[in-house]
Amino acid sequence: MARISWKFGLLMMMVVLVGSCSGQLSNENFYSKKCPNVFKAIRSVVRSAVAKEPRMAASLLRLHFHDCFVNGCDGSVLLDDTSSFKGEKTAGPNNNSLRGFDVVDAIKAKVESVCPGVVSCADILAITARDSVVLLGGPNWNVKLGRRDSKTASLAAANSGVLPPPTATLSQLISKFQAVGLSTKDMAALSGAHTIGKTRCTVYRSRIYNDTNIDRTFANARKKNCPIITGTPKDNNVAPLDFKTPNHFDNSYYSNLLNKKGLLHSDQELFNGGSTDSLVRTYTNNQKAFFADFATAMIKMGNIKPLTGSQGIIRRNCRRAN
């Protein structure tokens, strides 16, 4: 009996230790005492940046996504290279692709001016993503807070294939999202973030020239700005991911897919005779359902392996580990 009791006690201790390592985020009141004006400070900078360039909303949202998929939501994507590590900015999925770092710098400076050393860069990314969506007409949600910042970043991790490429098949998309604890429904809803933003010719060229499940008029229109010849300055020409309402967060992305007008191969995979066809139809017909599922999925994504409690640090400059 004593042996059983001892084993039970050991098991309970292990459960407690494992639980404490997983990290637990708090509600939006996390900074209510130490930094009550954090939301106002962040929103003012985001609003100014998006007013100047609506595309920036999508860029800031994407930073949060690329941060969370690589070793969790720890702000590591923001770190510059140092003599001791090579960061994530020059990784294949990020190099000449991620943008908005200067806006994050401005947000961090604003927050530091009202409450220095309190708010993490990882939390700033989460709040900024939400505010960016709301500013373009998308859903609102309560951002869970309490993330702390990593001291390092990993080029190898960002290059390891955890980030789904624009050439991904449906099964690959499902697998990569499941690997970080997100369901197929989460994946389909989060893909709706492509209702805003733009992407370069090099990213969608193969889709418009090689795919057969694409509206020909749509493909021909895109070809005018994206020639088949590679290695020219036109590689960097951009096109809106949602040609209907590129600066408004709505459900038109899904109606585009119904009409075979997804700009990326991975976009059209959501409606190509597979398991997500029904979700695309639902979101096309019911924007409220899309908004609800998107908000739920964003909260889940923001909870991927956060550093909390005494883990990590609070960076004073998001580009370096203090």
User: Does the fold of domain 170-300 match that of domain 37-159?
Assistant: no
64 is catalytic: no
Query: Is 230 annotated as ligand-binding?
Result: no
Residue 15 confidence (pLDDT): 40
Catalytic site residue from 64, 66, 248, 265: 66
Residue 24 confidence (pLDDT): 86
pTM over the 0.75 mark: yes
CB of 244 closer than 8 Å to CB of 200:
no
Q: Name beta bridge partners: 320.
A: 317
Whether the CA torsion 96, 203, 253, 91 is positive or negative: it is: negative
Query: Is 186 annotated as ligand-binding?
Result: no
81: left (phi over 0), alpha (psi -120 to 50) or beta: beta
Question: Within a 10 A sphere around the Cβ of 275, how many other Cβ atoms?
Answer: 12
Which residues have CB under 8 Å from 30's CB, separation 6+?
Answer: 123, 145, 146
Query: Is 293 annotated as ligand-binding?
Result: no
Query: Is 111 annotated as ligand-binding?
Result: no
Can you tell me the distance from the alpha carbon of 192 to that of 240, in angstroms, rounded to the nearest whole number?
13
Q: Tell me which residue of 251, 250, 226, 254 sits closest to 239, measured CA to CA.
A: 226
Query: Is 76 annotated as ligand-binding?
Result: yes
* Options 3.20.20.70, 2.60.40.10, 3.30.470.20, 1.10.520.10; CATH of 37-159: 1.10.520.10
Residue 198 confidence (pLDDT): 98
Query: Is 74 annotated as ligand-binding?
Result: yes
Domain ranges of the chain: 37-159, 170-300
Q: Name beta bridge partners: 148.
A: 307
Can you tell me the distance from the alpha carbon of 81 to that of 90, in angstroms, rounded to the nearest whole number?
9
**Cα separations in angstroms, 40 against 114, 122, 141, 295:** 10, 17, 16, 21
CB of 253 closer than 8 Å to CB of 195:
yes
Question: Within a 10 A sphere around the Cβ of 232, how many other Cβ atoms?
Answer: 10
Q: Tell me which residue of 140, 137, 145 sits closest to 38, measured CA to CA.
A: 145
From first to last of its 322 residues, what are the pLDDT tens digits of the chain?
444 444 344 444 444 333 333 468 999 999 999 999 999 999 999 999 999 999 999 999 999 999 999 999 999 999 999 999 999 999 999 999 999 999 999 999 999 999 999 999 999 999 999 999 999 999 999 999 999 999 999 999 999 999 999 999 999 999 999 999 999 999 999 999 999 999 999 999 999 999 999 999 999 999 999 999 999 999 999 999 999 999 999 999 999 999 999 999 999 999 999 999 999 999 999 999 999 999 999 999 999 999 999 999 999 999 999 9
What is the 3-class SS of the chain, one letter each residue?
CHHHHHHHHHHHHHHHHHHHHHCCCECHHHHCCCCCCHHHHHHHHHHHHHHHCCHHHHHHHHHHHHHHHCCCCCCHHHCCCCCCCCCCCCCCCCCCCCCCHHHHHHHHHHHHHHCCCCCCHHHHHHHHHHHHHHHCCCCCCCCCECCEECCCCCHHHHCCCCCCCCCCCHHHHHHHHHCCCCCHHHHHHHHHHHHCCEEEHHHHHHHHHHCCCCCHHHHHHHHCCCCCCCCCHHHHCEEECCCCCCCCCCCHHHHHHHCCCCCCHHHHHHHCCCCCHHHHHHHHHCHHHHHHHHHHHHHHHCCCCCECCCCCECCCECCECC
The CATH class that applies to domain 170-300 reads mainly alpha
Query: Is 274 annotated as ligand-binding?
Result: no
Can you tell me the distance from the alpha carbon of 61 to that of 272, in angstroms, rounded to the nearest whole number?
26
Query: Is 128 annotated as ligand-binding?
Result: no
Backbone φ and ψ of 135, nearest 5°: -60, -25
Query: Is 250 annotated as ligand-binding?
Result: yes
